[in-house]
């Protein structure tokens, strides 16, 4: 599969009598052009690099072809299909649903996700239960989206149904307008709203429209070699588990929505985080541990409260035990700077204990679990995982077996005995959620610039 570039080039050189195919031209030019949209589920610039499901998928596909990736957001949603059909981009990747009208413009690759269209409203207002009950309210949808076709079809039985098509907005803007009261309702895709709801907790799902749509990449019509190559790529990453890994990483924040918790996080991000952000950046410079991860751990530990104290005696922003504080040269656990730097050093120490053969993401979550429950108990869970035929180097396998540390049948078989193994499972889940939210929150670019300036002022570590 990875010799695709060489094969395509040889075909190109040996087929002088016919023009090169689109796939051959991509390889010959050394660049894959992908048009997308800015959203937390597709493509955005995080603190230090580009992120998003579609960005990850496109980057891996470009690497598979042996070419560079040029990905750019369309100014307006409807331009995605225009750019692909007119040859400005070879692939449209923006969580696009497959519809009959769109098939007249482009060809679609294989489906890699299923989504539902949902009507959302603002908490505190009357919850509608059908399209007919939207009468009198302001309903907004993206211009050129599949939701327009759904509404046009529904108008056959609801003649008074009306809506406003927004050409210059994206999904996040629609959700934000409902949250602020600028509009009453919007129709959005379930996957996008499940993530955005954490940032706009006043919004709610009123009802689903009952349709389940398949999501796929848009490709130029007639580009059969590119379509076959894309199909082979998705088959490969689905079989290897890479596709599910990418989806899990970005949609983890969408699981178990908690209105009170999300409101508290946003409130603390505004009131407490600004006083601590420079220390998190300093901790990254010293230890190399991502400041966003440290901030997510700190929020799970103390809600960024330097004066936090638990019934067991751990205290401070990073909730250090007295023993850990001494080990990390922390004199005052309630001093925010000392606590964060000490917690970062301790996390770095735990991370280094884990074998380097473990994939980076799995190693990260195992270390987060160890920060909570202790390295020894995580090692015991890995041993149990191996006994049961699982992969001790894979976080999801270990996650499934951590609760067995509370089962006498199992904890008697390992070195460190009983532990509440369900606690680190919840702990890691929450940290992953806070980390995802920190990645997308507005104003994050300011922190990125601060980090760059801070790094430039500091000598190289070590």
Q: For residue 230, what are the CA distances in angstroms to 108, 221, 381, 393?
A: 10, 14, 39, 30
Angle at 147 between CA 142 and CA 151, to 5 degrees: 115
Contact in structure between 80 and 37 (CB atoms under 8 Å): yes
Give bridge partners of residue 121 from the DSSP assignment: 204
Q: Tokens for 235? A: 């088959």
Q: Which CA distances in Å does 28 have to 11, 171, 273?
A: 11, 36, 49
Tokens of 350: 């735990």
**Residue 309 bridge partners (DSSP):** 315
Interatomic CA distance for residues 403 and 398, integer angstroms:
9
* Whether 396 is catalytic: no
CA atoms of 226 and 212, how far apart (whole Å): 26
Say if residues 455 and 285 touch (Cβ distance below 8 Å): yes
Which is nearest to 97 in space by CA: 205, 211, 196? 211
Terminal alpha carbon distance of the chain? 41
Distance CA 266, CA 198 (A): 9
Out of 54, 172, 202, 301, which one is annotated catalytic? 301
Torsion, Cα 96 98 101 103, to 10 degrees, reads 100
Rounded CA separation 111/90 (Å): 17
Buried b (16+ CB within 10 A) or exposed e, 67-78: bebebebbebbb
3-state secondary structure of 391: coil
Contact 39, 172 (CB under 8 A): yes
Q: The tokens of 308 are what? A: 């936090």
Tokens of 8: 């395509």
For 266, the token pair is: 């946003």
Q: In sequence order, what DSSP letters do the residues of 194-239 get, joined into one string?
A: HHHTTTSTTEEEEEEEEEEEEE--EE-TT-HHHHHHHHHHHHHHHH
Catalytic residues: 301
């Amino acid at each position: 599969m990875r010799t695709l570039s060489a094969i395509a080039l040889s075909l190109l050189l040996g087929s002088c009598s016919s023009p090169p195919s689109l796939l051959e031209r991509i390889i010959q030019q050394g660049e894959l052009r992908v048009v997308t949209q800015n959203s937390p589920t597709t493509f955005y610039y995080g603190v230090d690099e580009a992120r998003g499901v579609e960005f990850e998928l496109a980057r891996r596909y470009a690497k598979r072809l042996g070419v560079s990736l040029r990905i750019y957001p369309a100014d307006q949603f409807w331009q995605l299909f225009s750019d692909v059909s007119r040859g400005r981009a070879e692939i449209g990747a923006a969580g696009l649903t497959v519809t009959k009208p769109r098939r007249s413009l482009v060809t679609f690759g294989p489906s890699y996700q299923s989504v539902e269209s949902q009507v959302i409203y603002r908490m505190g207002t009357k919850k509608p239960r059908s399209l007919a009950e939207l009468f009198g309210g302001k309903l907004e949808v993206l211009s050129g989206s599949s939701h327009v076709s759904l509404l046009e079809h529904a108008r056959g039985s609801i003649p008074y149904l009306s809506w406003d098509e927004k050409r210059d907005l994206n999904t996040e803007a629609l959700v934000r307008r409902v949250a602020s009261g600028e509009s009453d309702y919007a129709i959005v895709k379930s996957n996008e709203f499940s993530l955005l709801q954490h940032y706009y907790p006043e919004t709610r799902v009123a009802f689903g429209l009952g349709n389940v749509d398949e999501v796929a990449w848009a490709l130029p019509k007639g580009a059969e070699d590119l379509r076959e190559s894309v199909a082979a790529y998705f088959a490969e990453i689905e079989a290897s588990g890479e596709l599910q890994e990418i989806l899990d990483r970005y949609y983890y924040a969408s699981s178990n929505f908690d209105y009170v918790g999300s409101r508290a996080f946003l409130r603390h991000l505004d009131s407490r985080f600004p006083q601590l952000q420079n220390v998190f950046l300093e901790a990254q410079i010293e230890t190399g541990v991502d400041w966003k991860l440290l901030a997510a751990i700190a929020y799970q530990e103390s809600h960024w409260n330097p004066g936090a104290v638990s019934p067991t005696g751990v205290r401070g922003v990073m909730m250090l035990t007295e023993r850990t504080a001494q080990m990390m040269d922390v004199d005052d656990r309630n001093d925010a700077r000392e606590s964060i730097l000490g917690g970062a050093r301790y996390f770095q120490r735990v991370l280094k204990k884990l074998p380097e053969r473990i994939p980076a993401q799995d190693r990260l979550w195992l270390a987060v679990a160890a920060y909570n429950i202790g390295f020894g108990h995580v090692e015991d869970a890995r041993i149990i995982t191996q006994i049961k035929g699982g992969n001790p180097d894979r976080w999801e396998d270990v996650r499934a077996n951590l609760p067995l540390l509370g089962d006498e049948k199992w904890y008697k078989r390992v070195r460190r005995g009983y532990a509440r193994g369900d606690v680190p499972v919840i702990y890691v889940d929450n940290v992953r959620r806070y980390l995802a939210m920190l990645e997308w929150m507005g104003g994050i670019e300011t922190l990125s610039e601060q980090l760059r300036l801070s790094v430039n002022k500091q000598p190289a570590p070590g």
